[in-house]
Structure 1
Amino acid sequence: MSLTLYLHPLASFCHKVMIALEEARVPYHAVTVDFGDPTSAKQVSDQWPVGKIPLLHDEAAGRHVAETTIILEYLAQHHPGMAKLWPSEAETLLEARLWDRFFDLYVQQPMQKIVTDRIRPPGANDPHGVAEARENLQTAYGMIEARMAGREWAVGNDFSIADCAAFPGLFFAGTVEPFPASATALSAYFERLLTRPSVASVLAQAQPYFTMFPYRDAMPARFLPGS
């Protein structure tokens, strides 16, 4: 399988797919997309006009696949290593799908709302929307805290697609809206994610770009280059 993943090393949704590919040891070619460069951006928009990354190109099959969960489902159909990230038992698989969506919708999306508001033009900020996003993150933290009490991974006994989805959102969300001190199970889960080789690899690839992150000033020093 000849795979190309159009991505940006700082983009949290790209990290989700990158972590899964690292976990499954699926080789791929990474192409960094610069949306400030029309030629670079065109590589994505020509195939997926909404212009969102990541976007997977499977050269052997002659097709492009968009949206993170769909990309991972597609890869699971064609690569045994990726299939292991999808629980085989029906009820556990349903849980994995639920928590995959939870981390995308209720951690990554409100985090991105907060981040993008910081780089809006003067007078175009949305303080009400940001306050609502922070409240949503606190609600999500509470749910994750309850979920992770007594658990190692988000679903079942093994690292799964839910954990691939969890880390990218939690990493940046914890910077813009820190975890509550009382959320000990959430914090312990986050630390376990950090020790995963796939996560460490993706984080290392992102690190040189942290200077571009709008909340770099709030990022814990241990994650910054040279730490």
Structure 2
Amino acid sequence: MTDLALYGHPFSSYTQKVLVALYENATPFAFRNIGPETPENASEWLRRWPLRKFPILAEGDRTVAEASIIIEYLQLTQPGPVALIPEDPMAALDVRFLDRFFDLHVMSPMQRAVDGALTGDPEKRQDAMAVAVETLDRSYAWLEEHLAGREWAAGEAFTLADCAAAPSLFYADWTHPIADTYPVLRGYRARLLARPSFARAVDGARKYRHFFPLGAPERD
């Protein structure tokens, strides 16, 4: 029985980011779903992390917060066959930069559009979507050039950067579809969806799609 527990929600993009890392290395863990049907999980989550953000990873008395840091922690304490952060410091720096790129320039604008929709105010929804579209268009264009000739975000190896890319591009394309003029980026997103670790995370969240406030498309 493992002492490792992940607190989060299957439909949460940052929870999925960590799930991909755990599934990549078949790391044993217990999933603690945070929802109205499991108040005991929510209580323990808030006791451990009163800032009310998930996911968090719990191992004994240690609590690890923030998805990227959780994956770093897993690499240190639960190393497996897939090295999600390269040993070479410069290569690792590239991976960490890309991780931040996907979180800040893809995930964040997508979330802004979602938050705007959740207000229920049509004007706020429109304004948030306009900002998201502008940012995502710039990000898509940069990624189209960056990913040329690469299988994964940082090169030939699947890394932390791809753990970040998978849920961010998944939901970003729902929010502002990646145009046909970005075939490289569209191909990369398709490879992420076909990766067993992310496919498992997507399938685990399928029943929650009706919660997506912008309307989940009939695909993926």
Structure 1 residues 179 and 55 mapped into 2: Cα distance closer, same or farther (>3 Å)? Answer: same
Shift of 1:134: 1.4
TM superposition score normalised by structure 2 = 0.93
Which one of 195, 218, 222 corresponds to residue 219 of structure 2?
222
Query: What secondary structure sits across from 2:219 in the alignment?
Result: helix
Equivalent position amino acid for 1:6 in 2: Y
- The 3 A distance-change label for structure 1 pair 38 and 21 is closer
Residue in 1 that maps onto 2:25: 24
Q: How far apart are residue 42 of structure 1 and its match? A: 2.8
Answer whether contact 1:7 1:31 (CA < 8 A) is retained.
yes
**Is 2:105 the counterpart of 1:97?**
no
Deviation at 1:79, TM superposition (A): 1.4
Give the 3 Å change call, closer, same or farther, for CA 122–37 of structure 1 in structure 2. farther
**CA distance in 2 between partners of 1:82 and 1:76 (Å):** 10
- Measured against aligned partners, the alpha-carbon deviations of 1:23-58 in whole angstroms (never above 9, x if no partner) come to 011011101112798765332222111100001101
Give CA-to-partner distance per residue, 1:97-156, whole Å, 9 cap, x none. 000011011111110110121121437825434311211111111111111111101113
Counterpart position of 1:15:
16
Q: Provide the C-alpha distance between the structure 2 equivalents of 1:214 and 1:132, rounded to a whole number of angstroms.
A: 17
Match of 2:4 in 1: 3
* Residues 76 and 83, structure 1, Cα contact 8 Å, conserved in 2: no
Deviation at 1:204, TM superposition (A): 0.6
Instruction: Say whether residues 1:142 and 2:141 are aligned partners.
Output: yes
The answer (yes or no) to whether the contact 1:92–1:156 under 8 Å persists in 2 is: no
Residue 184 (structure 2) aligns with: 185
1:200 positional shift: 0.8
Deviation, 1:222, is: 2.9
SS of the aligned residue for 1:81 comes to coil
Distance of 1:162 and 1:14 partners within structure 2: 15
Q: What pairs up with 1:133-212 in 2 under 5 angstroms?
A: 133-212=132-211
* TM-score of the superposed pair, with normalisation by structure 1: 0.90
Instruction: Give the fraction of aligned pairs with identical amino acids, expressed as a percent.
Output: 38
Alignment gaps of 5+ in structure 1 = none
